[in-house]
Amino acid sequence: MFRIIKKSLKKGIVTGQYPVSAQPVPEVSVPSQNKVTPFHRSLSIREVDTGSCNACEMEMNALMNPIYDAERFGIHIVASPRHADALVITGPVTFNMEKALKDVYRTTPGPKVIIALGDCAIDCGMFKDSYAVTGPVEKHLPVDVKIPGCPPRPSEILEALSALMGRKKGSKNRL
């Protein structure tokens, strides 16, 4: 017990110890921001992988670690699309995952904010036109926010989500 407490005290608080994102924040259209308004300061996200290389997933996971701790901004990862306000979709949509993606979209309650994470989700990246890929997310679902990068760094994802949630840059509730 004492070892655990000692270790925690020795490390102290690590939250926020990361370099600030140097990338421009993706633009969020007014209708998309209006979709998020009813959720106020919280956003429940369901992550759907439709064929990414797993790097985007790792960065989404990193958002939840003590250093980024996205929960402090009200961002939660939920286990079912039925609990989700927003879907984060990674990877080009593969021929095998297309139906599953549409099923998820159907079961998500409105207003369904769709976020395409990573270059593959935005324009299929290197997998463009492959026989096994049916196109970027945009071809199948209306996309609200695009977060570019291969993969985008967690700080960039956090910036983009903050912009979506309408937090002004430099305000107390942001980063």
Partner 1 sequence: MGDLNEIMEEIIKTFKDQILDSERIQGIPVWYIKKEDIPEIAAHIHKTPSLRGTLSMQWAADLRPMRRACRIYYLFSLESGGEWLILATDLAEGDRLFSSITPQIHAAKWYEREIRDMYGLIPVGHPDQRRLVRHEHWPKGAHSLKKDFPWNTVMKREDGTYTYRRIEGEGVFEVPVGPIHAGIIEPGHFRFSVAGEPILQLEIRHFWKHRGVEKLFENLSLINGVTLAEKISGDTSFGHSLCYCQAVESLLSVDVPPRAEYLRTLFLELERLHNHVGDVGAICNDAAYALALAHCSRMKEQIMQLNDRLTGHRFLRGINRVGGMALNLDSAQLKVILAETTEIENDFRELSNILFINASLTDRLETTGILKERTARDHGAVGVVARASNINRDVRRDRPFAAYGKLNIKVPVFQYGDVRARLRVRIEEIFETISIINRICREMPAGLISADPVKIAKPGEWGLSAVEGWRGEILCFVMAGKNGKIHRCKVRDPSFVNWPALQYAVLGNIIPDFPLINKSFNLSYAGNDL
**Shortest separation between residue 81's beta carbon and partner 1, angstroms:** 8
Taking CB under 8 A as the rule, does residue 11 contact partner 1? yes
Which residues neighbour 75 within 8 Å (Cβ) at sequence distance 6 or greater?
Answer: 42, 43, 45, 63, 161
- CA proximity to 52, closest of 88, 106, 81: 88
Tokens of 21: 């994102």
Distance separating alpha carbons of residues 57 and 10, to the nearest angstrom? 30
Give counts: helices (H), strands (E), the chain. Answer: 7, 5
Least separation in angstroms between residue 31's CB and partner 1 is: 27
**Of residues 28, 43, 133, 165, which one binds partner 1 by CB under 8 A?**
133
Closer by beta carbon to partner 1, 33 or else 55: 55
Site residues for partner 1 per CB under 8 A: 3-4, 7, 11, 14, 18-19, 47-62, 64-68, 77, 79-80, 91-92, 94-97, 99-100, 104, 125-127, 129-133, 150-151, 153
